[in-house]
């Protein structure tokens, strides 16, 4: 079995380490890290960045991505407006999660609430092979069709 990549992490006091909710979970849950006895409310139509209390050293050749939690989206219409959010390997600040409330009611966030999911992903470097001639849109059956061109179902 291949060796797992190691990611150095520092947690501010009270911050929770990201963990998988179940053994089959692909992503790790990320939690809000708020001062004691405080909460954050996102009003309908508003967005805020939520602190996690986490600082990481992502290995070169990797990135972290933050993704919405489906339960927050379904039950409260709260999601990440920049999903998936990309955290580059050379970023060293606190991981913060931007949440937007598309719902009709204010959404309250307390310390320790699960607010996003995190994935460690391999970055594949590549080089552009610039062409002197246009790319033929008819070179595949789909061609230039996009934005629902393959059907609704």
Q: Read off the pTM.
A: 0.87
CA-to-CA distance for 76 and 99, rounded, in angstroms? 12
pLDDT of residue 140: 86
pLDDT tens profile 104-151: 999 999 999 999 999 999 999 999 999 999 988 888 888 887 777 777
How many other C-beta atoms are found inside a 10 Å radius of the C-beta of residue 17? 11
CA-to-CA distance for 28 and 107, rounded, in angstroms? 22
**Tokens 């970055």 found at:** 123
pLDDT tens profile 82-110: 999 999 999 999 999 999 999 999 999 99
Q: Confirm if 68 and 117 have CB atoms less than 8 A apart.
A: yes
Tell me: pLDDT of 41 over 90.
yes
pLDDT of residue 152: 63
- Cα separations (Å) of 145 from 6, 63, 135, 139? 41, 31, 14, 12
What average pLDDT does the segment 41-47 reach? 98
pLDDT of residue 18: 97
| DSSP 3-state of 9 | strand
* All domains of the chain in start order, with CATH: 8-125 (2.70.40.10)
Nearest CA-CA partner of 12 in 57, 56, 53, 55: 53
| DSSP 3-state of 139 | helix
What average pLDDT does the segment 20-31 reach? 96
Average pLDDT, the chain: 94
17 pLDDT band, cuts 50/70/90, is: very high
pLDDT of residue 29: 98
């Amino acid at each position: 079995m291949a060796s797992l990549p190691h990611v150095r992490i520092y947690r501010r006091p009270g911050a929770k380490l990201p963990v998988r909710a179940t053994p089959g979970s692909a992503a790790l849950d990320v939690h809000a890290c708020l001062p004691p006895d405080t909460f954050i409310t996102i009003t309908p139509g508003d967005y805020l960045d939520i602190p996690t209390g986490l600082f990481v050293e992502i290995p070169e050749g990797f990135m972290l991505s933050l993704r919405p939690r489906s339960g927050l989206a379904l039950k409260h219409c709260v999601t990440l407006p920049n999903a998936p959010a990309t955290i580059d390997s050379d970023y060293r600040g606190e991981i913060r999660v931007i949440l937007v409330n598309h719902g009709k009611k204010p959404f309250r966030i307390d310390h320790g609430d699960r607010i996003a999911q995190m994935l460690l992903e391999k970055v594949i470097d590549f080089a552009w092979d610039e062409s002197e001639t246009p790319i033929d849109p008819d070179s595949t059956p789909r061609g230039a069709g996009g934005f629902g061109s393959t059907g609704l179902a």
